[in-house]
Structure 1
Amino acid sequence: MSALTVDKVKTIKPLNNIAECGLNVFQTQEDYKIDENSESPDAIVVRSFNMHDMSFDQNLKAIARAGAGVNNIPVARCTEQGIVVFNTPGANANAVKELVLTCLMASSRNLFAGVSWTKSLEGEGEQIPKLVEAGKKQFVGKEIKGKTLGVIGLGAIGALVANDALDLDMDVIGFDPFISVDTAWNLSRNVQRAMSLEELFANSDYITVHVPLTDGTKEMFNKETFAIMKPGVHILNFSRGELVNEEDMAVALESGRVGKYITDFPNERVLKMKNAVPIPHLGASTRESEENCALMAARQVKEFLETGNIRNSVNFPNTSLPYTGKRRVAAFHKNVPNMVGQITNAISAYNLNIADMVNRSRGEYAYTMIDIDNKVNGETIPGLLEKITQIDGIVTVRVI
């Protein structure tokens, strides 16, 4: 069990190089300390560092990934230990969008292969201009104007890609059965809605995918789905390499069923594929993106430590309760009947009045915040934490 006393200095441990603007979110206050070597931090901010072999001190309350993917974090173990895991969806969206559109046009014009071939002419001296004129016909490409782009996943990145592709005079089809209201507001009405993936596959000249890796999306690009697509389709993957069955992709590229495969996730097999364009995982690699992600991650951690509120968690339910400065009890627990009643009974046993509360669940777990109306001075209410932690199903509890 873990608890946070009110005036305790909070230690933040950065892993990798976190943009200074993000760390400055904490350094502007005296009750925060940045310590790269801390064995008992209150929170960790991380980029790509592999945390699966790390053990976590019971004082650790939060891990924030300065990026969208959390495959480098043992999320299930964190949940069991009551550690909230944040990510930063949308913070790197513009960076990824720009690279997707760059590769969309460059691959369509055979720019990558053309540049590589031209560099191979080094040493030909005065013959280079003549060789270029004679050899350029092998790199004749096609324009994207008037072609159809299929966008799978219309979240922060997919929506930006779809909208900007329209401005490039492409026709755009989108598919996302889980589109949020906020994203729908930001999506152009000229993006056509596909009622199924099969419809999108059948009608797209180019396909770009922006979905997380799940059991339902793993190897969604395979020989069965390639058979539905237009011959020569270009597929852009800046989400996860595992979305593609690489054995089937190699065969499809060799036969011409797929014209190009542009991926941000190269490996030995991809490098051997005909007409594959391997990008060295540059999707979010811009200074602006790194700063946006660091700022967003730091602000989410700071808000959680100071108020208990949760935004953009991948394992806790997103939960918000306006913070008025009253003493707040925040408990993470199993999502079972009468849990909230047991917590409120424990508080009432101390003759404390409940001013406000919120409870949100996510699968097998839930998160409850309760504001206490009474003015309580000094240290954490004696015995209250212990009483709540004794409730069967409580994972962590703290008083803010």
Structure 2
Amino acid sequence: MSFAPQIRIPATYMRGGTSKGVFFKLDDLPERAQVEGEARDKLLLRVIGSPDPYGKQIDGMGGATSSTSKTVILSKSTQPEHDVDYLFGQVSIDKAFVDWSGNCGNLTAAVGSFAISNGLVSADRIPENGVCTVRIWQKNISKTIIAHVPITNGQVQETGAFELDGVTFPAAEVQIEFLDPADDGEDGGAMFPTGQVVDQFDVPDIGSFQATFINAGIPTIFLNAEDIGYTGTELQDAINSDAEVLKRFEKIRAYGAVKMGLIQDIAEAANRQHTPKIAFVAKPKTYIASSGKTVSDTDIDLSVRALSMGKLHHAMMGTAAVAIGTAAAIPGTLVNLAAGGGEKNAVRFGHPSGTLRVGAEANLENGQWVVKKAIMSRSARILMEGWVRIPEDSF
């Protein structure tokens, strides 16, 4: 009996924000995986270790959570005035598919660092000491992101004193600007796909409650925590340990996806796990974060809990933070009201691991809200680099 040999593919395992993923240069992939399609998806699935009926991804690079089942493909940009093209694939843990429908805001923090270190940014744009501005074209959503990456002695500086709740050790701060983060709709109102900043949202057999549907950073459904029986101070076990609760949230998400026009039938939501996100908000309350530290109600403007890939996130997805900052800047949204209402250009919100500050610039133009950019700080670090190995016949 003959067996297929393993092949090795250059790869880098990186932390970006509160996520981890496997990074590839496009031209390092086998030729048939350099274009979108079945071969690429199968390759990434095998690299990560999916689908895994045990839900552990033991035979791959994944960490069996939505934050660690991620892949990134980078190449020199084909867009004018951009340095790098960034394609993100969210790999399902227990199903054989890769979701390409949205961005990962956390891993965005590592894109600039990888691009500089791997020759995707022109040498004349990299200072000997200072900050390198990396112009990223996010291919999943066709948006521009600017990463400000610290440079010391001509190399990416990864260590530093910047602390990010949800990440154990301090590192160098990377500021990220998401330019024009809202969806570009022909009707001018696609930031709010229903045309309203708050809707009455009916979900069969569950209930009717207020919701804000927004396309900014990533399509997101915001609910009031108290409307669905929560306080907004919950940690992961309070949600993720109850299979019936998770089914309830998934049903709400599926009906919300239809209402946002992302799918036509709720059955399609099963194959679109990455988007939309669902989150619930509450006015500030003191709570104990997962690290054991106290988050005081005086330290935050509001509390937010968000689900990713069917589970409550341990901190906050970067793209959802963009949605939070954008919604907070627009009077009348549930996020804005939870933060006290009125005009805001930045908020600090509480999440299961601690707090995060995000800013957004919103203007009312011709009767429509327009957000020019959202800004937040993350950090990134190379964890391992070399090659991943997969069976030659796996893709």
Considering only CA atoms, is the larger Rg found in Structure 1 or Structure 2?
Answer: 1
Q: When the two structures are superposed, what TM-score results if normalisation uses the length of structure 1?
A: 0.20
Q: When the two structures are superposed, what TM-score results if normalisation uses the length of structure 2?
A: 0.20
- Answer 1 or 2: which has greater strand percent: 2
Q: Which has the higher contact order (CA 8 A, sep 6+)?
A: 2
- Answer 1 or 2: which has greater helix percent: 1
